[in-house]
């Protein structure tokens, strides 16, 4: 047959989001202010450092989760595409097998029809022979009947 069917994607899929900007922003910290604001900042930082640290830890974990989610989605999409490519390949092979069986059945049907035509021709030929024989017998019977009628008329 035509061989295995190839299934290709004409257009590439959408590009995954770029997490680089988020990853960079996660690491960035503003420089502490100078002067009186700096003193006030350091004082508030000592008091609020557990909250700030908790927020930093949460933000870092959120960025990590986002990166893992993006990686999972990429892997899942790739697995889904591999699965569908396999299914399409199997379907293509089955369709090729169906096409081949269809062609075989078509050839067998054509051979069967040729055989039927040959048998019909043979039956018609035999029928013609039989019909010709019957016509000949009928003509012979007519001739004999005419002779008998003639003989009967003469006796009368």
CA distance 122 to 110: 18
pLDDT band of residue 153 (cuts 50, 70, 90) is: confident
Domain chopping of the chain, boundaries = 20-155
DSSP state of 115: H
CA distance 10 to 8: 6
DSSP state of 150: H
* Residue 5 pLDDT greater than 50, yes or no: no
Distance, CA of 103 to chain centre: 20
Two structure tokens written together for 111: 């051979």
pLDDT band of residue 86 (cuts 50, 70, 90) is: very high
23-67 residue pLDDT tens? 777 666 777 788 888 888 888 888 888 888 888 889 889 988 988
Q: Which residue has the tokens 């012979």?
A: 140
> Residue 35: is it exposed, middle or buried by C-beta count within 10 angstroms (0-12/13-18/19+)?
exposed
pLDDT band of residue 122 (cuts 50, 70, 90) is: confident
Percent of the chain surpassing pLDDT 70: 90
Phi, psi (degrees; rounded to nearest 5) at 30: -70, 145
Two structure tokens written together for 1: 């047959």
* Residue 84 pLDDT greater than 50, yes or no: yes
């Amino acid at each position: 047959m035509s061989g295995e069917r190839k299934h290709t994607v004409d257009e590439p899929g959408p590009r995954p989001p770029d997490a680089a900007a988020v990853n960079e922003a996660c690491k960035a910290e503003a420089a502490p202010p100078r002067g009186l604001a700096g003193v006030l900042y350091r004082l508030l930082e000592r008091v609020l450092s557990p909250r700030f640290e908790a927020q930093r830890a949460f933000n870092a974990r959120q960025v990590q989760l986002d990166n893992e989610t993006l990686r999972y989605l990429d892997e899942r999409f790739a697995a889904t595409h591999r699965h569908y490519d396999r299914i399409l390949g199997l379907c293509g092979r089955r369709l090729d097998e169906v096409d081949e069986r269809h062609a075989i059945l078509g050839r067998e049907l054509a051979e069967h029809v040729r055989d039927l035509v040959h048998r019909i021709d043979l039956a018609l030929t035999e029928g013609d022979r039989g019909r010709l024989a019957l016509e000949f017998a009928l003509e012979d019977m007519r001739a004999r009947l005419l002779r008998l009628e003639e003989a009967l008329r003469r006796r009368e």
